[in-house]
Amino acid sequence: MLELIKNDKQLNEALERVNQLWDAKSDTSERDELEVLTLLIEKYEEEHYPIPASEPIEAIEAIKFLMDQNNLTRKDLQPFLGSMSRVSEILNRKRDLSLIMIKRLHHGLNIPYESLII
């Protein structure tokens, strides 16, 4: 049963579980668990590890540059940022990147942490 993440130990356990579920197929209970865990992780990180306000503009420019250089679409960013609406919010600077998004972008698209965290 999924529960709110209340401390860093639970956060690390949730991140480990996300890694185990990362390749879960659509329309499965594992994929549902992955999506719920991602939301719980993002909520905890937003409350306990807020990203500085200066981050979005430069990070978004790094993402857009990578998209342009690699002919990526917004849909290509879904595995790293979440739903299409989340991708849109990020690219339109209406939502900040969470730590999990930054980690996914770094590992999945090789965007340097320095470009994502200012």
Integer Cα distance of 29 and 85 in angstroms: 22
- Asked if residues 63 and 105 have their Cβ atoms less than 8 Å apart, the reply is yes
Residue with tokens 């991602």: 38
Integer Cα distance of 56 and 49 in angstroms: 15
DSSP state of 94: S
Assign 93 a pLDDT band (cuts: 50, 70, 90): confident
- Asked if residues 96 and 116 have their Cβ atoms less than 8 Å apart, the reply is no
What percentage of the chain reaches a pLDDT higher than 90?
Answer: 58
Q: List, in order, residues 6 or more apart from 6 with CB less than 8 Å away.
A: 44
Assign 103 a pLDDT band (cuts: 50, 70, 90): very high
pLDDT digits (tens, 9 = 90+) for 37-60: 999 998 998 888 776 554 446 888
pLDDT recorded at residue 87: 94
Of 44-53, 57-66, 77-86, where does mean pLDDT reach its minimum? 44-53
- Dihedral sign from CA coordinates of 15, 34, 115, 95: negative
pTM value? 0.53
Q: Give me 75's structure tokens.
A: 């849909």
pLDDT recorded at residue 52: 57
- The whole-chain average pLDDT of the chain stands at 88
